[in-house]
Amino acid sequence: MDALDRAWLSLDSLSVGDAFGERFFGPLHDVRERISRRDLPDAPWIYTDDTEMALSIVEMLRERGSIDQDLLAKRFANRMQFNRGYGQGAYAVLCGVKDGLNWHHLTQIGFRGMGSFGNGAAMRVAPLGGFFADRPLNIIRDQARLSAEVTHAHVEGVAGAIAVAVAAALAWQEREAEGTLGPTQFGMPHLAATPATP
């Protein structure tokens, strides 16, 4: 399987998980009951802004083989569909990009000048990890950072994207290993000893 096939495979999984998870928003009590009964959500399952933005990343990787931030910002803005549930920060940045404003400035002024540290960049980046799964981890890190910074200026928002991209690449690399991948295989043995929180 080549790099683009891996990215598409990851995008398929991301989109289904995104659309499935979106069906579980609502009052906490109702959601918990549905989960405990293992109710399958009613159709349609509509994917969100996370998949919409991941599509732009995969398209760019297909065409260029790497992330071009200025072009990615334009693609995110041009593909934006208001019914996909964009967060307030991403919505403001992408509307500004559509109006011809500089995304660098827009991402840094959000959230009282700290930049977004939300999970949006992490939610859309798994296909990038799949695409670069046969490359050194520093390349995955750098490309994930580039993809994140277009909407997330805060170091934690960027770190989340890097973590997911690297995890996606490692999952591909270890796909034929026996057993399941856990904290030790992901290079985080300290998490293996951490008790799960209820």
pTM of the model: 0.84
List the domains of the chain with CATH numbers.
3-36+46-174 (1.10.4080.10)
pLDDT at 180 over 80: no
pLDDT of residue 193: 42
Q: Check residue 43 and report its DSSP letter.
A: S
Q: With the CA atoms of 111, 53, 72 and 94 taken in that order, what torsion angle do they form, in degrees rounded to the nearest 10?
A: -40
Instruction: Count CB neighbours of 76 within 10 A.
Output: 26
Q: Are 20 and 45 in contact (CB under 8 A)?
A: yes
**197: enclosing H helix or E strand:** none
DSSP helix/strand/coil, 134 = coil
Q: pLDDT of 47-96, one tens digit each?
A: 999 999 999 999 999 999 999 999 999 999 999 988 898 888 888 888 89
